[in-house]
Amino acid sequence: MLYRNFTLILLIIVQSFSASGQDFLRWADEFNGTILDSTNWEYQIGDGCPDLCGWGNNELQSYQKKNVTVSNGILTILAKKESFQNSSYTSARIRSLNKFDFASGRIDVRARLPRGKGYWPAVWFLPSENYYGTWPLSGEIDLMEGKGQEIKNTYGTIHYGAYPPNNKYTGATYTLPTGDFVSTFHTFTLLWKLDTIEWLVDGISYSKKTKKDLPDFWWPYNRNFHFIANLAVGGNFLGYPDASTPDTASLQIDYIRVYQNLEDIFITGPDAILRNDVQKLFYTQKLDGATYEWIAPAGSQIVSGQGTSSIRLNWGLKSDTVKVKISFQNKTKTISKFVLALPDTCEGVIDNQEEIRSMYWVGSNGNYRSSLANPSKDSINSSNLCSRYYRSSTVIYDALIINTDLIKNAKAFEDGNLILKMKLYTIAPIGTEVNLNFENRALAALPYPSGRRCVLQAKTTKTRVWEELTFKLILKPDPNTPEAAINQLVLLFAPNTNSSDVFYFDDFSIKETPCKQETTGMLNQYNEASDISVFPNPFTNEVNISAQFIPTDIELTDLVGKSVIRAATIDEFNKYVATLCSGAYYLRLTNDTHNYYFKLVKQMP
């Protein structure tokens, strides 16, 4: 029958989900006792040495337990001018790491800030796992920062980007229209959703950041973070105390509350995955008393964790959606995450600097720029954008460091079962070497060859035109580095030289040898399903769907899995079809028992 008659059914489903979106208090500390609750918090002690002296900001204080008190429903962190070991001030810093970790929700902190030049109060979040790399790659969220000399101002900021000194941050300042943050308590709020972070003071929104604000870097705010509350003294952010600064000051916190709703909970896991990759972790927020039912895509297998808030999954061959149904307080919500399986066939692009992004620059000796115009379009590379690298002539082993969520294991590349390719345009002479190291960053910080699991190499055969290079294994400098401990790729253009040449690169791709064969549940077989058809294909201004089942979701994605249209009915869906750009798309039709995909092509009328 023609698929146009299930609007009412989907409307009821949508309404039931909306009803489940009410906030509930998930976690709180009201500081009602007489000591700090050790089930919620731990102390961080000292001046940060030897690993992070001055706590990374040239601060003056040493953190001590004695500078924390809890009384009359108030947490007080006291900063005091006094000599302690190598520090001229004492203060305190507490955190909730591994006691309460969270992603998403509404976070309220009611606090009163200190007065005095050089006093730096903060309530902020750091990642509970450095999944994307050490600071700032895995992110930082500053809910509230103050400057003791600016008693009417507060700051909300996120940190991200490449390794220092190429780290990035973006944020905003809020100025109270009347009063100040020192005389009275104020409520600082963060609204955290999958792709959005918003800051408020006393209910007034003053800043919002989204995934689009980080165009050249991944959005790391999709994994668990934890609380930190501290009062620093001096540092790069605000300067140092002077003669006007009082000898003591305090940050007082009335409460910290975390509210959650089922609508804002999301699945954390890789955005892109290698075909047939194994033991991939997916998790969502752990709610006390909730039940979890995970639904793996066709061709994939849950190997552990079913019934809990996290699972390990062996993936199949195709891009698809992993789902979890959460039942909590008599409400049920099914959430999903689309995961891109790369390459999408036995050989294909895994990063083209445009719509397919899985590899990100995080550091280099030379000068790197992304998303630049292709210097010479030709039949090898006709894309609009690529990356450019000016090699540093002062470093003979100039290293361009790339992080990727996709490649964590070197074995298949060493064995030749996966072959990595890259397109290159350079003014360097023919025969120039290009090395690609698979490394573990922490181990590679030790003397060579530690941490360098293997080296793949290609050599140029052309100059001033595009060519596709194929990397081949030439060396295993440190076979003791675990094959599954790879967390960075390092490109070395013209290694062991003082070249200052320019290199444009694009279109990283992977080839499987032998090719893994499709079995069940793949796109081509769905196209041949006898009980459903989609026409015309190619289409212009309308898509027709004829089916013997009732889908509960209609979604159109681009080829990298980004949702373009999502609708409850085909009529609603077709309202947006005419505005689509020409190109290829995936149409997904699902209900509780079916998950059909169709590859469609939009052409202009």
Each domain of the chain, given as residue ranges in start order, spans 29-259, 272-342, 347-512, 523-602
- Residues 189-226 pLDDT 10s: 999 999 999 999 999 999 999 998 998 899 999 999 99
Show Cβ contacts of residue 434 under 8 Å, excluding neighbours closer than 6 positions. Answer: 422, 424, 457, 458, 459, 460, 469, 471, 491, 492, 493, 494, 503
According to the model, what pLDDT value does residue 503 have? 98
Average pLDDT, integer, range 162-191: 97
What ranges in 456-591 are assigned the alpha helix state H? 523-527, 570-577
Model confidence at 16: pLDDT above 80: no
pLDDT in tens, 129-139: 999 999 999 99
Q: How far is CA 537 from the centre of its chain?
A: 35
pLDDT interval class at 587 (50, 70, 90): confident
Identify whether the C-beta of residue 543 lies closer than 8 Å to the C-beta of residue 574.
yes
- Work out the mean pLDDT of the chain and round it to a whole number: 90
Q: In this structure, are residues 41 and 96 in contact, taking their beta carbons and an 8 Å threshold?
A: yes
Looking at domain 523-602, its CATH class is: mainly beta
Share of the chain above pLDDT 70, in %: 92
Catalytic residue chosen out of the listed positions 42, 59, 145, 354: 145
Statement: residue 80 has pLDDT above 80 = yes
Q: State pLDDT tens for residues 235-292.
A: 999 999 999 999 999 999 999 999 999 999 999 999 999 999 999 999 999 999 999 9
**Where residue 560 falls among pLDDT bands split at 50, 70, 90?**
low
- At residue 563 the predicted structure's pLDDT band, cuts being 50, 70 and 90, is confident
Mean pLDDT along residues 428-444: 97
Task: Give me 325's structure tokens.
Answer: 């149904």
Summarised one tens digit per residue, pLDDT across range 487-508 is: 999 999 999 999 999 999 999 9
Instruction: List, in order, residues 6 or more apart from 444 with CB less than 8 Å away.
Output: 450, 451, 452, 488
Tokens of 352: 């083209």
Report the range out of 308-322, 519-533, 580-594 with the highest average pLDDT.
308-322
Q: Could you say which DSSP state residue 575 is in?
A: H
Answer for the pair 78, 92: CB distance below 8 angstroms, yes or no: yes
> Which CATH number is associated with domain 347-512?
2.60.120.260
140 is catalytic: yes
Q: Per-residue pLDDT averaged across 164-168, rounded? A: 95
Concerning whether 145 is annotated as a catalytic residue, the answer is yes
pLDDT classification of 558: cutoffs 50, 70, 90: confident
Contact (CB, 8 A) for 152 and 180: yes
Distance CA 454, CA 444 (A): 12
Rounded Cα gap, residues 46 and 68, in angstroms: 14
Q: Is the pLDDT of residue 157 over 50?
A: yes
Asked if 190 and 197 count as a contact pair (C-beta separation under 8 A), the reply is yes
Return the bridge partners of 546, or none. 2, 533
Q: Sign of the CA dihedral 101, 107, 112, 118?
A: positive
Catalytic residue among 30, 42, 140, 518: 140
- Averaged pLDDT for residues 414-438: 97
- Rounded to the nearest angstrom, the gap between the alpha carbon of residue 398 and the centroid of all alpha carbons in its chain is 27
> CATH assignment of 272-342?
2.60.40.10
- Rounded Cα–Cα distance for residues 134 and 100 (Å): 20
Structural Rg of the chain based on CA atoms: 27
Residues pairing with 77 in the sheet? 68, 251
The partner residues of 256 in beta bridges, in order of sequence, read 29, 109
- For residue 531, is pLDDT > 90? no
Inform me whether the pLDDT recorded for 523 exceeds 60: no
* CA 16 distance to own-chain centroid: 30
List Cβ neighbours of 491 (8 Å cut-off, separation of 6 or more): 389, 399, 400, 402, 434, 435, 436, 505
Q: Which CATH class is domain 29-259?
A: mainly beta
Note the pLDDT of residue 573.
Answer: 82
Q: Quick check: do 272-342 and 347-512 share a fold?
A: no
What values do phi and psi take at 74, rounded to 5? -130, 130
Is the pLDDT reported for residue 52 higher than 80?
yes
**Amino acid identity at 89:** Y
The proportion of the chain whose per-residue pLDDT surpasses 90, expressed as a percent, equals 78
Task: Yes or no: say if 233 and 79 are a contact pair by the CB < 8 Å rule.
Answer: yes
Q: Rounded CA gap, 514 and 409, in Å?
A: 18
The answer to whether 590 touches 553, Cβ cutoff 8 Å, is yes
Pick from 32-36, 121-125, 202-206, 576-580: least confident: 576-580
Model confidence at 13: pLDDT above 60: no
